[in-house]
Amino acid sequence: MRKARCLFALALLAAIAVTATPAPPPENPVLQVNGGGTGLFIDPSVTPTDMGLFTNFGVGLVMYSDGSATGHFTCMIPGIVVVDGLYDSASYDPDTGIVTASGIAREVFPQFDPIIVEFTTTFQAGGPGVGVFTLSDSSGYFPNYPDDVDTEVVIKGGIRIR
């Protein structure tokens, strides 16, 4: 009887372990985008480029062969807004070396309630003066989302695509 109880308990634990195992990620990652630092607004941008506005940004993105993606993007214009996003899709253009990724973000403005928006970013690898990224979102600030963008060149830090 005791042996039967032990076998039942082991079988129950094995069943729990199998059902508690998380689903495997999609197929192997195709590429990753990592980096961060400071970006300076340049043309073309919805945000004025003659005011010396900059952001602090960070990205950690994994793109899979089925076009899905996971990862996180944060971009902050100090004292104005924080964009905190999670990716769910991405694509890569090998001819240009540009990664485009989209998802859902929370935007926090000091004087308003936070809002949830769809957002799209693009990334071009490189360090200061070479790395570039864009951001557009469905907040209404970008009148023709996703075609209107803010473009920034890296002035400190870098973007790596591998």
Q: What is the mean pLDDT of each run of 10 residues along the chain (162 residues)?
A: 39 39 61 97 92 95 97 95 97 96 96 95 98 95 88 98 96
Handedness of CA 150, 151, 156, 159 (dihedral sign): positive
Domains in the chain: boundaries: 29-161
- Tokens of residue 49, six digits: 């480029």
Q: Is 11 helix (H, G, I), strand (E, B) or coil?
A: helix
Tell me the pTM.
0.81
* Residues 107-139 as b or e (16 or more Cβ within 10 Å = b): beeeeeeeeebbbbbbbbbbeeeebbbbbbbbb
Tokens of 57: 């940004």
Q: Measured between alpha carbons, how far is 73 from 91 in angstroms, rounded to an integer?
A: 16
Find, among 120, 151, 145, the residue nearest to 43 by Cα.
151
In this structure, the strands spanning 150-161 and 132-137 are antiparallel
Q: Are 152 and 128 in contact (CB under 8 A)?
A: no
Among candidates 135, 34, 47, which has minimal Cα distance to 85? Answer: 135
> What integer pLDDT is reported at residue 26 of this predicted model?
56
